[in-house]
Structure 1
Amino acid sequence: MILDQQRTSSDTSGRWAVTAVFFVNGLTLSTDIVRAPSLKEAYHLSAGWFGCTGLLFAVAALACMQVVGPLTARVGTRAVLRVTLAVMPVLLAGLAVVPGAWGFAVLTTLLGAAHGTTDAAMNTSAVAVERRAGRPVLNGCHAAWSVSAVVASLSTAALIQAGVSLTAHLVGAGVLLLVAGAVLGARLPDDGRGVPGGAPERAGWSRPLVLLGLTATAVMICEGGALGWGGIFLHEERHATLGLAAAAITAYTGGQSAGRLVGDRLTVRWGATTLFRLGAVLAAGGFAGAVLAPHPVVAVIGFAVAGSGSSVLVPLTYSAVGRLGGASEAALVSRLTTFTYTGILLGPALIGWSAGRLGLAATMAALPVLLLLVAAAPRPRQLVSS
């Protein structure tokens, strides 16, 4: 009895510490994203140069995701996260003070590397906590990330309105996030250790993993479409004002945050497979309403519905991949993270390419079809059995 109580207490502690890491990581990255216009102006960067720094960020993140699996399997997620939670705030603060455009590009690349490492490691830790606790926690962790984006957006707007400089904002945020990371680092569970590198790790590229990875990529392509093109679609195709067009992104992220806050409880009540299919169908319906509705206000509501439906899809996929065999949890999660990151990067680019040839409305209309295919696709037994 005492051992059971100690295990429950440890599981709960691990859950909240890992959830807080999602929030801190999201707040760090989101602060950089919402300050992007100020950084571009401060360093006098052309659109091409600024786009190049974004590409460097993405490439560095994807490259580091390939080594996080073996690393965390060897040393554990706590050791990795304690380092990255210390490095990311310093890099964030450095973006405001580093001299010259080249210095900005170097720090952006390093921030991408640190973020990619953190992303894979924190998802590995969350999967391990969920398995140990015996109940869903992934939706709650991803909800913390979604909420952090809202907090970063609102706080940045308030600070700009108050006249706080870019340097003061990023340096101050860096100090607070550094302290938060140090506090969390001591409370994180030491998860992720598993099968060492070698043949078992290579065997992890199984059919179920690839199927889950492609599912996550498709979901993230749709998410990239909503976040990258939703506002543009409303403004150019539905003639919404710029303010109302921006509300599409707020509606989508708001619906996503709300869905993830209740996603774990719904998983327990309905099961992962049922919830996954319902979420995909709801997201498809929301996207269909957003694209087909002639009135922009109705379209904004559609984006909110799409966000709430899609909210559970990626967390459930992470939960499923953690139950695959053939490799350590760390390796499996890092591979899935590569799929999700590829989807969010490819989504806006693919939609832009297609919109240039077929038109934006026709391209956006393909998103609900893609989600319906996701809903209808056969689920690996790891998702069916949860």
Structure 2
Amino acid sequence: MSKIRLRAVVLPGGARREAPYGKAGRMSEVARDAGRERRREGREGRAVRRARAAVTAVFAVNGALIAAFAVRTPSLKTEHALTAGLLGLLTALVGVAALAATQVAGRLAARIGSAWVVRIAAVALPLALLGVGLAGGPVHLAAAMLLVGAANGLLDTAMNAQAVMVERAAHRPIMNGCHAAWSIGSVAGSLTGGAAAQAGMSLTTHYLILGAAVTAVVLVVGGRLPAEEPSAGPSPARTDDGAGRRGRRAGWARRVLLLGAMGAAVLACEGAVITWSGVFLHEDLGASLGTASLGLVAFTAWQTAGRLVGDRLSARHPARVLVRSGAALAAAGLTAVVVAPTPILAVAGFALAGLGLATPLPLIFSAAGHAGTEEGGAGATAAVARLTTMTYSAMLLAPALVGRVAEALGLTWTLALLVPPLVTVAWKAPVVARTPSSSTPPVVAAGVPDEAL
């Protein structure tokens, strides 16, 4: 039996242990290296899982806040004695501020990181809602509405960019699950907001309780959000004219524009269904008010169900297949709605449309974010911001446009006009195809140094 030479190893406290040289020593070094690699991979996997849970929680929080805001609109109108016209104007301010905020989200993320944009906006949004409750007059209320829109625009853009970052680190789709969490949070916010209204709770008390709960959640998950390094380049104000023009064009790539047009078509149809499904069932098909509400319920329920399984479908099938089949299914659903002779068949058509529209928008957001990652995390945020600008515009304009066209053509034919845009989305579905880089660095929670892993 061959002899193995030993060397002395000093242990803590001055103790000495003999360690082997030779083949056995080399094998032990390899084993230790393999063990360290396994532990490092395990820590990275846990970091990715924590980041995914954190981003998903942010989506749920955003859905709950927006639903709590929307469901208390009648209370807002009563408490502030608003006319219908003034309420409409104040609501429009929210959309205008959100659109403006998406324009600065990318530049803000480039300076401080999208994780910090999420943290700040997620706390600012409930504070802005509290400002709505505390407003003493129309001017103060208008200022609070502007803050609500700006905070929501920043949060919407940054949290979608964060989801893209987690997708790239995990090498698996998560965007559908995040949007499903938004829908579930929206249901929770609607139910609690309705209960608060039924109990006679003031807006101030409701939003104070909601804000405290949301702030607690943000404090827990905020440190687990994936962090990217802010851009080290010069600020836009100090660049030359050419660089400034490039900065203003950031995120407006041809593919992002096409994805934005597709997302706008999807959200225009969604906005039209949300606003007009009940009116169509009640006035055109003669449904009772209770039955008329089932159109939106069916649409939302099936859309949420589709998003809950959307990530598993995305892992098994190409994105273009899911977008094409989803848009085609939604087009078939709306076609069934406009030709339905009875309210129940129309409700089934709205359910089919909701299922079809479950996956296209999350996959479009994901594709836009991946298209922007060549410029780093801030590039993803800029691309998502451009997409959000286009989709927000469609969401705001579509219901009003449907109303105007319906005056001339009738609501049935107007809903029928939503089918061709969905067919176009199905036709252009290959645009969403993308292959995330295999060299994506691991997600690291903000503020955690690499050596801590």
Normalising by structure 1, we get a TM-score of: 0.95
8 Å contact 2:304–2:358 — kept in the other structure?
Answer: yes
Pairing 1:106–2:106 present: no
Matched, 1:251 2:298: yes
One-letter amino acid matched to 1:13: R
Q: For residue 370 of structure 1, what is the aligned residue in structure 2?
A: 421
1:106-145 matches, cutoff 5 A: 106-145=143-182
* 2:106 corresponds to: 69
Q: CA deviation at 1:63?
A: 0.6
Separation in 1 of the partners of 2:176 and 2:72? 27
Distance (Å, rounded) in 2 between the aligned partners of 1:320 and 1:105: 35
Counterparts in 2 of 1:306 and 1:378: CA distance versus 1, 3 Å: closer
What is the match of residue 236 of structure 1? 283
1:383 and 2:433 correspond: yes
Q: 1:266 to 1:192 in 2, by over 3 A?
A: farther
The match for 1:352 is 403
Match of 1:297 in 2: 344
| Inter-partner Cα distance in structure 1 for 2:210 and 2:227 | 27
Aligned Cα root-mean-square deviation (Å): 1.8
Q: Which residue of 2 aligns with 1:272?
A: 319
For structure 1, the residue ranges without an aligned partner over 5 or more in a row are none
1:226 aligns with 2:273: yes
- 1:117-154 C-alpha deviation (Å, 9 max, x unpaired): 11101011111111111000000011111111111222
Q: 1:378 to 1:18 in 2, by over 3 A?
A: closer
CA contact (8 A) 1:14 1:189 kept: yes
The structure 2 residue matched to 1:211, chosen from 258, 263, 285, is 258
Q: Which deviates more from structure 2 when the two are superposed, residues 148-157 or residues 236-245?
A: 148-157
- Which protein has the larger Cα radius of gyration, Structure 1 or Structure 2? 2
How many Å separate the matches in 2 of 1:212 and 1:19? 23
Residue equivalent to 1:330: 381
- Aligned-partner Cα distance in 1 for 2:98–2:129: 15
State the alpha-carbon separation in 2 of the partners of residues 22 and 103 from structure 1.
Answer: 28
- 2:61 maps to which residue? 24
> Cα offset for 1:200?
6.3
Q: Cα 1:194–1:248, aligned 2, differ >3 Å: closer, same or farther?
A: farther
1:148-168 residue CA offsets vs partner (Å, 9 max, x unmatched): 111122222333334434433
Contact 2:250 2:383 in 1 (8 A): no
In the alignment, is the contact (CA less than 8 A) between 2:121 and 2:151 conserved in 1? yes
CA contact (8 A) 2:93 2:146 kept: yes
Q: Deviations over 1:256-280 (max 9, x none)?
A: 1111110000011122111111111
Deviations 1:162-213 (A, max 9, x none): 4434433222212212222222222222147458564366254221111101
- The answer to whether 1:156 aligns with 2:193 is yes
Q: Would you say 1:321 and 2:368 are equivalent positions?
A: yes
* Bigger fraction of residues in helix: 1
The answer to whether the 8 Å contact 2:251/2:386 transfers is: no
How many angstroms apart in 2 are the aligned matches of 1:36 and 1:5?
Answer: 47
Identity of aligned residues (%): 44
Q: Is 1:78–2:115 an aligned residue pair?
A: yes
Of 212, 222, 233, which aligns to 1:175?
212
CA offsets 1:234-293 (integer angstroms, 9 cap, x no match): 111111111111121111111111111100000111221111111111111111122221
Distance across 2 between alignment mates of 1:315 and 1:356: 33
TM-superposition CA deviations, 1:276-327 (whole Å, max 9, x none): 1111111111111222211111211211111111011111001111221564
Change (3 A) 1:193 1:319: farther
Q: Do 2:102 and 2:386's aligned partners in 1 also have CA atoms closer than 8 Å?
A: yes
Q: What secondary structure is seen at the aligned counterpart in 2 of 1:157?
A: helix
Residue 378 of structure 1: CA displacement?
5.4
Counterpart-to-counterpart distance in 1, 2:56 and 2:397: 27
- Tell me which amino acid in the other structure corresponds to 2:320: T
Q: How many residue pairs were aligned?
A: 385
**Retained in 2: the 8 A contact 1:90–1:178?**
no
Kept in 2, the 8 Å contact 1:193–1:330? The answer is no
**TM-score, L = length of structure 2:** 0.81
CA distance in 2, matches of 1:193, 1:137: 24
**Correspondent of 1:343 among 383, 394, 404:** 394
Deviation, 1:54, is 1.2
Q: Which residue of 1 aligns with 2:78?
A: 41
